[in-house]
């Protein structure tokens, strides 16, 4: 049987990139899974702390994320839906794994390298602004590995940007098994969606992100049609004439085509073919409509569920209980294996 695990940070309402790159796949896996397959979906609060968070906002975002996941169709009876920060087994395993993880591997993580580059003084490359770099930012891929391994997960539906972190998790599973000559952990596999890496609407050289400061750079799953239309109309494209699909020369335009193709579940080249000789206005109008069609249902459901405080708390309590129980089996084995029963 497969054990599916994935997580999302409570750093804001999910956007189109999260949905098309990961969340829609969670729902699909839930539908296609065999009865004996296990599914675990987690809101990973500890990961959010790697960047400064306002406590009240974080606390609200946790609840909103739970409501969003329910709204898109995660069924808490079929899947274990839970807050990572309510299961200490994740941090216990993360510590054990961090004692097996080579520094050099973590230093080669592109997410870390990007943070390091961003903290470097423009005039003096060797000068680093240390206030921007915390140890958690450096080691969180280990916590991510623990999130996966603590359930012995085998299938990990995450977006493109998480490939390297999943490689680390595979590595750590293998390192643990070899260090202790024990077959405790299975190797986790990446499960990608046919789609894609969705780019920022304002800077199509970087990915769409929940935590990017410019809110016009992303379409949220809870945006109304008028908000969607405004953001898509104002998105950065190019002045290279009629629409063509060319991700290198025309990242903004191609990003819109990618979004449209994913919304209508078609190949991006055949979608692009329909815009031969047409301009950005026609494309942008169609993109906004296709997004609305896809997210209208989840948006309405979100608005309904977020008011049901009692239900949300019950789902969280039940999820935490099941997650703890499930991971405790692994941890008993791990503790015994390392000699700390
Ligand atoms: P943050 O900026 O706070 O890191 P995020 O938008 O990157 O937020 P995460 O919570 O880090 O979201 O990731 C949740 C899931 O969404 C992951 O599986 C990740 O791979 C996927 N994902 C994030 N951004 C995109 C994107 N632009 N396109 C496709 N998938 C994405
Ligand atoms: Mg992210």
The pLDDT of residue 275: 96
How far out from the chain centre does Cα 117 lie? Answer: 23
Residue 31 annotated to the active site? no
Regarding predicted confidence, which is higher, 14 or 193? 14
Cβ atoms of 13 and 220 within 8 Å: the answer is: yes
Instruction: Classify residue 249 as exposed, middle or buried by CB count within 10 Å of its CB (0-12, 13-18, 19+).
Output: exposed
Give the residue from 157, 168, 223 showing the smallest Cα distance to 190.
Answer: 157
What residues line ligand 1, using a CB cutoff of 6 Å? 8-9, 11, 17-18, 21-22, 158-159, 161-162, 197-198, 207-211
CA distance 249 to 257: 14
Q: Quote the mean pLDDT of the chain.
A: 96
Exposure on the CB side of residue 237, measured as CA atoms within 13 A: 23
Query: Once rounded to an integer, what is the mean pLDDT over residues 71-90?
Result: 98
pLDDT, one tens digit per residue, over 295-340 is: 999 999 999 999 999 999 999 999 999 999 999 999 999 999 999 9
- Taking the C-alpha atoms of residue 50 and residue 132, their distance in angstroms, rounded to an integer, is 10
Confidence of residue 16 (pLDDT cuts 50, 70, 90): very high
SS3 label, residue 66: helix
Omega of the bond leading into 337 within 30 degrees of 0 (cis): no
| ipTM > 0.95, yes or no | yes
Pocket test for ligand 1, best of 17, 84, 140 (most atoms within 8 A of CB): 17
pLDDT of 69: 98
Count Cβ atoms within 10 A of the Cβ of residue 184 and give its class: 0-12 exposed, 13-18 middle, 19 or more buried. middle
Q: Which of 152, 207, 231, 284 is catalytic?
A: 207
| Atom 18 of ligand 1, nearest CA residue | 158
pLDDT in tens, 236-274: 999 999 999 999 999 999 999 999 999 999 999 999 999
47 contacts: CB under 8 Å, gap ≥ 6: 7, 9, 84, 140, 143, 144
Q: Quick one: pLDDT at residue 192? A: 85
Query: Does the annotation count 207 as an active-site position?
Result: yes
Which residue, chain included where needed, has tokens 């025309």?
Answer: 250
Which member of 170, 210, 231, 284 is catalytic? 210
Taking the centre of ligand 1 as the mean of its atom positions, its distance from the CA of residue 264, in whole angstroms, is 21
Grade residue 129 by pLDDT with cuts at 50, 70 and 90: confident
197-249 pLDDT, tens digit each: 999 999 999 999 998 999 999 999 999 999 999 999 999 999 999 999 999 99
Domains of the chain: 3-190+309-338 (3.40.50.620), 215-303 (1.10.240.10)
| 319 and 76 Cβ atoms separated by less than 8 Å | yes
pLDDT at 145 over 80: yes
As a residue count, the chain comes to: 341
């Amino acid at each position: 049987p497969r054990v599916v695990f994935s997580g999302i940070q409570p750093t804001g309402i999910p956007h189109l990139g999260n949905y098309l790159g990961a969340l829609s796949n969670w729902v699909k896996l839930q539908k296609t899974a065999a009865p004996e397959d296990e599914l675990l979906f987690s809101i990973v609060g500890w990961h959010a702390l790697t960047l400064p968070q306002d406590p009240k906002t974080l606390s609200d975002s946790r609840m909103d994320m739970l409501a969003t996941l329910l709204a898109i169709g995660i069924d808490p009876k079929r899947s274990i839906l839970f807050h990572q920060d309510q299961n200490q087994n994740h941090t216990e395993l993360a510590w054990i794994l961090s004692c097996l993880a080579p520094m050099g591997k973590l230093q080669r993580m592109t997410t870390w390298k990007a943070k390091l580059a961003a903290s470097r003084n423009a005039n003096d490359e060797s000068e680093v602004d240390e206030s921007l770099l915390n140890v958690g930012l450096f080691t969180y891929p280990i916590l991510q590995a623990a999130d996966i391994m603590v359930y012995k997960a085998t299938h990990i539906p995450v977006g493109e940007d998480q490939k390297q972190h999943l490689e680390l998790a595979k590595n750590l599973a293998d390192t643990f098994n070899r260090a202790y000559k024990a077959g405790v952990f299975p190797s986790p596999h990446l499960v990608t969606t046919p789609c894609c890496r969705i780019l920022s609407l304002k800077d199509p050289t970087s990915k769409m992100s929940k935590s990017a400061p410019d809110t016009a750079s992303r379409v949220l799953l809870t945006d109304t049609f008028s908000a969607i239309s405004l953001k898509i109309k104002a998105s950065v494209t190019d002045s290279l004439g009629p629409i063509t699909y060319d991700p290198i020369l025309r990242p903004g335009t191609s990003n819109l085509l990618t979004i449209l193709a994913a919304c209508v579940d078609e190949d991006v080249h055949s979608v692009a073919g329909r815009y031969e000789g047409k301009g950005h206005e026609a494309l942008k109008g169609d993109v906004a409509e296709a997004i609305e069609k896809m997210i209208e249902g989840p948006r309405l459901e979100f608005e309904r569920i977020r008011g049901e405080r009692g239900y949300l708390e019950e789902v969280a309590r039940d999820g935490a209980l099941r997650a703890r129980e499930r991971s405790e089996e692994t941890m008993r084995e791990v503790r015994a294996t390392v000699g700390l029963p």
